[in-house]
Each structure stands twice: as structure tokens, then as C-alpha cells.
Amino acid sequence: MVSLGVHHSYGFVGLGAMGYWASGSSTLSMAKNLRAKSSPTIKLYVYDIASTRADQLAAESEPANGHIVKCMSVAEVVQNSDVIFTIVPEGKHVLQVFSQTNNGALSVTDISGKLFIDCSTIDVSTSQTVARAVAERGADFFDAPVSGGTVGALEGTITFMLGTSPDHPRHNEILPILQTMGNKVFACGAPTLGLAAKLCNNYISGNIAIATAEGMNLGMKLGLNPKTLSDVVAVSTGGSWVNQSCNPVPGVVPKAPASNNYEPGFKVELMLKDYNLAV
């Protein structure tokens, strides 16, 4: 049993996609920031189905002094951690993380008092199902999807959309942990409302990305220099984060995926998933 508010170890399940993008990884960066900005005595237990990602995390987090521990299963992470982060691609993967016989989070005998924070972008129904199962075992589960992309994860400036009220007894316990990885945490009011906020945001930003790509293409066909057009849009009514940080034309924004052989970046398949979840 974990004493509420007293943390000796953190866990991280899922080092892919927003968790870990190969060259400038996102979840790798989240996990690195969590470890680097936490008490030096706290250990970080990690697991991913691609075991080499955990090795890379440990190698790139030196000097970690043995405080990053590669685990062989989700259950091993949960067994050893007081606070467990999960970040996987889809709802079916979240269900597997928690429900898999023998190796899932809920296969651990005693999880009472543990804090589970799911940063995955998934359907509301799955999140509710997992939250109920966790609560029945005496632990707490919160949805806390993130936004900010690769650069935000690297710089520790991502945004968390937390599915709870500021009045929840564990809100002030969660807040400083999330602030090791991001600079904005919004308590969205109740369970699954963090997911609701994330899906609304991605629906809006996806439409902006499409419009930005079409507008840039139109401008270039009309003879405009793409950098000039981007600069004009940035200070006009068409300005957006997409234009300034993730412009789709190679060379316009040096750190954008388009300027780096389209990686690292947010996969089209994941954007389609988010659209489907939103509508």
C-alpha cells in the first residue's frame, strides 16, 4: 500500500509516439524531464514493448546513477512505482496495459493508494472503464492527455489537460509532478474532461493544419516565396501555432518536421484516430 502524497518511485509505460519518437523523441523527453527534475532519490521504472527504447532512455539520461530501471513487464513497473504514467496509441492498448493477465497493471496484488496518470489520447468510454477498475482496487486513475508536440516535450513546455477538479484531494499532489514535464496544467473539471479538451483541441488544430497547407500551396502557385507568406500570415488573421512552429513547407521553420525529412512528427494515422474520436 502506498502512503498518499509520499512518492519514492515513478513508473512510465509506453515510450513510443508521444511517448518516444526516434530522433528527438517526445515521451523519451517527457520521461527524461520527469527523472531529471524529480528528487535525486526517486527511481524511474520504465517499460515499452520495444525494449531498446528503455535502453536508449537510460543511455541518454546519464548521469542517472542507476535511477532509471528497465522493466520486463507493465506489472513490474506497477509493482515498484507509486505514481505510474501510461502513454500508448489507442484505447485498446490502454486496456491491454491494465487488463492483461499476469503482466497487466491490475494483475499486481496490491495497488491501493497508487496514482495512475494516463496521458494517452483515447475514447472516453475506455478511460471510464479503466478508471472504475482501478478505483475498485483502491487506487486513483486520471486522464491527462498532452499537447505541444516534440519540441514542447524536449523543452518541458507541453500542456496537460487533467480530467479532474482543482478541488480533488489529489490535485495538488499531481500538479508538481506534471510540472516536471510541462509548463501548463489545466484541471478540466471531472474525469474524462481532459480527454474531451484534447479531442476538441486536436479537431481544431487538424483543421488549421489542413487550411495552412492549402493556403501555403496556393501562395506558392501564385508566385509567393513561402517564407514571406508565412511571415505575413504570422502577423495577420491567419496566424497559428501550425504556421509558426510546424509549417508544412520545407525550410520555412527549421525545427518543423517538414524541414527535417518529415520526422520527428505526429503521424497521420494518429491524427485520423483523433478525428474519429472527436466526431
Q: How far is CA 20 from the centre of its chain?
A: 9
**What is the bridge-based pairing of β-strands 146-147 and 158-162?**
antiparallel
Residue 143 CA to residue 122 CA, distance in Å, equals 9
Distance, CA of 205 to CA of 197 (rounded, Å): 12
Q: What are phi and psi of 134, to 5 degrees?
A: -70, -45
Per annotation, catalytic residue among 198, 221, 227, 273: 198
The strand pairing partners of 86, in sequence order, are 13, 118
Residue 255 falls in the annotated catalytic set: no
Torsion on CA atoms 238, 21, 42, 83, rounded to nearest 10: 70
- The three grid cell numbers given for residue 40, joined into one nine-digit string: 535525486
Residues 172-204: b if buried by 16+ CB within 10 A, e if exposed: ebbeebbeebbeebebbeebbbbbbbbbebbbe
- 116 backbone dihedrals φ, ψ, rounded to 5°: -105, 125
CA triple 29-34-38, angle to 5 deg? 145
How many other β-carbons are positioned within 10 Å of the β-carbon of residue 66?
8
Residue count (the chain) = 279
Cell of 173: 499532489
Which residues are the active-site residues?
Answer: 198
